Amino acid sequence: MTTQTKTFGSTSTTDDVLAGIDLTGKHVLVTGVSAGLGVETARALVSHGAQVIGTARDLAKAAKALAAVGVDGEAIELVEMDLADLASVRRASDRLNAAQPVLDLVIANAGVMAPPFGRTADGFETQFGTNHIGHFVFVNRIAGLMRPGSRLVMLASSGHRFSDVDLTDPSFETTVYEPFIGYGRSKTANILFAVEFDRRYRALGLRATAVHPGGIKTELSRHMGDEKLEELFQQINADLAKEGKPQMIRKTPQQGAATTLWAGLVADADAVGGRCCEDCQVSPVVTSASIGFGSPGVRPYALDPETAKALWAKSEEWVSEVFNLRSDESALRNLPDA
């Protein structure tokens, strides 16, 4: 990992943050490389010499999307994985553990936003099961492949501001389903997972952070439609205007993926570890109830260490697996630091 010497912001791109950085010899895993930010993240990494492993539900779609941005099929290894099916998640993690690649960076990018109510193959509400549970199992199962100095980046969202997690009714068994409440729960869970992963494993040299990429039109918003998406942008800008703040910048995929790569490869590990980031900066913690949804910043409940511990424990209970990486569990531990 590099040490940051430049200052980046909301309009910085992936090429800006990686300018002058040679990633030859670095191994990066990215989930969700069939569209949007995952494709751009993989493109930027490959263009700077990284060896990339990408996961996707539809490998043909992923290969086509990557080829469209100039990523040769030989430059990335694709692994089939459906985060909404833990059997698929476990098959993918078993394949990787058998191959034993060294991982310098894991980017949990895949996700779903505001779909109609549904359940994953294992009975979880679609967003919570895909965005949190699927990644929770997958990342923990491959954590032994991460060597000292490596990082985990969880793709969160400003959507975490819609809701804290609900540890008693995560799948809307007793409460009425609202798409963006479900999205908020899952994105808060992504941040809390990074908080607890960082706490547990920083002594082993592994760090974790969460990022909000910004407002970008990608396939993630496919369940909303253009009209509802535009209404959301207008509401955000109306809230910002009331607070006397500038309008929200609608980012390109190159700008949206910049914070992911900044947090994973450029920023100081101690600055971003256990934190949330946006616009290539560490997010301020917003405690005022009068601050609107669109205002920059992370809500304190998403960084609460006790909630993070409780979510980890409940997640283990829900998936019937216990995860507690030790330094003697991986032969890769005797490799030089990243």
Looking at residue 246, what is its pLDDT?
Answer: 65
What share of the chain has pLDDT > 90, as a percent? Answer: 76
Distances (CA, A) of 244 to 180, 236, 263, 292, 294: 26, 12, 29, 11, 12
Banded pLDDT at 337 (limits 50, 70, 90)? very low
**Quick one: average pLDDT of 125-136?**
98
The pLDDT value recorded for residue 334 is 42
Please report which confidence band the pLDDT of residue 311 belongs to, taking 50, 70 and 90 as the band edges: very high
Q: Residue 260: inside a domain, yes or no?
A: yes
Q: Which two tokens stand for residue 321?
A: 């697996």
On average, the pLDDT of the chain sits at 90
Percent of the chain surpassing pLDDT 70: 83
**pLDDT confidence of residue 326:** 79
Q: How far apart are CA 45 and CA 15, in angstroms?
A: 9
The CATH number given to whatever domain includes residue 18 is: 3.40.50.720
Is residue 310 a part of any domain in this protein? yes
pLDDT score for 291: 62
Q: Kindly list the distances between the CA atom of residue 235 and the CA atoms of 26, 143, 228, 255, in Å, as whole numbers in the listed order.
A: 41, 40, 11, 22
Question: What per-residue confidence (pLDDT) applies to 114?
Answer: 86
In this predicted structure, what is the pLDDT of residue 335?
44
Is residue 169 in a domain? yes
Q: pLDDT tens-digit profile of 33-48?
A: 999 999 999 999 999 9
In a domain, 8, yes or no: no
Residue 197 in domain: yes
- More confidently predicted of 21 and 224: 21
Tell me how far apart the 2 most distant CA atoms of the chain are, in Å: 56
d(CA 223, CA 179): 10
Evaluate whether residue 187 is within a structural domain.
Answer: yes
Among 117, 215, 104, 79, residue whose Cα is nearest residue 159: 215
Catalytic positions, please? 183
pLDDT bucket at 332, cuts 50 / 70 / 90: very low
Pick the residue with more confidence: 258 or 289?
258
What is the sign of the dihedral through the CA atoms of 114, 284, 263 and 195? negative
Residue 333 covered by a domain: no
Within a domain: 176 = yes
Q: What is the mean pLDDT of residues 268-289?
A: 93
Q: What is the tens place of the pLDDT at every residue in 224-250?
A: 556 666 666 666 656 656 666 666 677
- Residue-level pLDDT at 282: 97
Average pLDDT (88-103) is 98
Residue 67 pLDDT greater than 70, yes or no? yes
Task: State yes or no: pLDDT of 330 exceeds 60.
Answer: no
| CA-based nearest residue to 190, from 142, 150, 155 | 155
Q: Sorting pLDDT into bands at 50, 70 and 90, what band is 295?
A: low
Q: Number of structural domains, the chain?
A: 1
Per-residue burial over 77-95, b if 16 or more Cβ lie within 10 Å, else e, is bbbebbbbbbebbbebbee
Name which of 17-26, 94-103, 329-338 the model is least confident about: 329-338
Kindly state the average pLDDT of the residues 74-80: 94
pLDDT above 80 (res 161):
yes
**Position 333 confidence tier, pLDDT thresholds 50, 70, 90:** very low
**Tokens matching residue 74:** 């030989």
| Domain span at 307 | 14-317
Q: What is the pLDDT of residues 171-205, one digit of tens each?
A: 999 999 999 999 999 999 999 999 999 999 999 99
Could you report the per-residue pLDDT of 108-119, keeping only the tens digit for each?
Answer: 999 999 899 999
Lowest mean pLDDT among 136-150, 228-242, 275-289, 317-331: 228-242
Q: Regarding predicted confidence, which is higher, 336 or 93?
A: 93
